Amino acid sequence: MRILLTEGSSTSARQAITALALSGHQVAFCDPEPVCLGRFSRLVSHRYRCPPLGTDPEGYRVFLRELLAARIADVVLPIHEQGYLIARVAEELRPHAALALPSFDSYARVQTKVGLYDLLTELDLPQPRTILVDNPRSLLQREAYPFVVKTSVGTASRSTWLVRCQADRDRAAAEIARTTIAGEPILMQDWVSAPLEQAQAVFQTGRLVGFHATRRLIEGAGGGAALKESVWRPRVARDLARIGSHLAWHGALSVDYFIDESGEHPLYIDGNPRLVEPMAATLAGLNLAELLVQVSVGTPIPRLHTSQPGLRTRLALQALLGAALRTGSRSAVVRTIVDLLGRSGPFARTQEELTPAYLDPPSALPVLGAALALLARPTRAQAMASRGWGAHLLTPEAMRRIQQMA
């Protein structure tokens, strides 16, 4: 089938391109940036330049509606935060292409961190102890370090601060005051020292039909993973099944959580109403992107599909950025390059999920460019990582405008 991804900049979009192409689909994407991760692929049939969601959600809406009305795709797959807008206007898009999304009200509950906190509280699902405040100055009253601060809207480190000391706290309060709308909820959560994992699920009319989980073994940039291992977490699968049933979820849903070594006691810290980096599941035997396509077109899926535990996958780009961010050291970047090329050290017996050069040679170009830039100046890592927080992402103002759409 002809699949349209709603952006091409994120690591999730880049991985979905590969996963969908492996299933034989023709893949296209739209993105406001002329050069993005998805651009470096021989697996993409078409690229469309679109208005930026973050500053022009109405323009993005009109562009997408007219593009789909031209019958360029059989399925539209909301691969990132564009799903918030698409869930709001789904009925005007469904005549032109198939898509899998829950109601806008259900989608909105998982889109924001406050919405997820309320949902977990409502279902009595475990999460770190959380305090909600509505003024950044309230942060200045807390002195029990470390703790985590989150604003309601934002992906990864765009909206999360780990506060280890008074200086961290004061910087976080100042940045939140500068960048958020007055009165926007702010969460203060207890810090949890435990392994971080992520689970991804696909639902069909409220029923769990696909489940995959991974443990982060090495951290990359923005809280992402440079090295993962697939794991089997029946408790998390049961919790996700409850969430999906409660919200009548239709489509993809992901959660991040800390968990103890027994694998039985998760603490949920984040949710995303979409697939996140689906190639790890694909390499572990479960193509969640393909499953989502089948849900989109209405193919009945009678049973739960799961992945194989114990498979390790790497993201070379994240590994390079993470090494530079942690150390600021050229020698650390060199060691990482040697380990990646030799599949040695922590990357022994791993498969590449983000930039599979063996399958899609142009995908290696961003990694090569990043390696050269970091070898020249390792301190560039933060600026390079921040490029992913582009105009294709939601802002609080864009969310407000989407909520008001007729």
- Mean pLDDT over 144-154 rounds to 88
Task: Give yes or no: residues 295 and 322 share one domain.
Answer: no
In which residue are the tokens 């539209």 written?
A: 76
Q: What is the C-alpha separation between 133 and 404, in angstroms, rounded?
A: 25
Host H or E run for residue 280 = helix 279-283
CA distance 132 to 110: 17
Look at the chain and report how many structural domains it folds into.
4
- Check: CB of residue 200 under 8 Å from CB of residue 281: yes
* C-alpha to C-alpha distance for 282 and 307, rounded to whole angstroms: 8
The H-or-E segment that residue 37 falls in is none
123 in a structural domain: no
Instruction: State the pLDDT confidence band at 221, using cuts at 50, 70 and 90.
Output: confident
CA distance 146 to 182: 25
Mean of pLDDT values over 390-396: 81
405 belongs to a structural domain? no
For residue 9, give its domain range.
Answer: 2-99
**Which tens digit of pLDDT belongs to each residue from 22-48?**
999 999 999 999 999 999 999 999 999
Mean pLDDT of all residues in 130-151: 91
Domain harbouring 240, CATH code: 3.30.470.20
Residue 156 has pLDDT above 70, yes or no: no
169-198 tens-digit pLDDT? 999 999 888 877 777 889 999 999 999 999
- Among 57-66, 148-157, 284-293, where is mean pLDDT lowest? 148-157
pTM: 0.94
- The verdict on 159 and 173 lying in the same domain is yes
- Contacts of residues 110-113 at CB distance under 8 Å and 24 or more positions apart, as own/partner, are 110/247, 110/253, 110/271, 110/272, 110/273, 111/81, 111/84, 111/153, 111/273, 111/394, 111/399, 112/152, 112/153, 113/150, 113/151, 113/152, 113/153, 113/154, 113/159, 113/187, 113/270
Does residue 285 form part of some domain? yes
Query: Is the model's pLDDT at 387 over the cut of 70?
Result: no
What is the pLDDT, as a whole number, of residue 225?
94
Share of the chain above pLDDT 90, in %: 86
CB 87 within 8 A of CB 104: yes
Confidence of residue 393 (pLDDT cuts 50, 70, 90): confident
Show which of 311, 326, 361 is a domain's final residue. 311
The domain that contains 76 carries what CATH number? 3.40.50.720
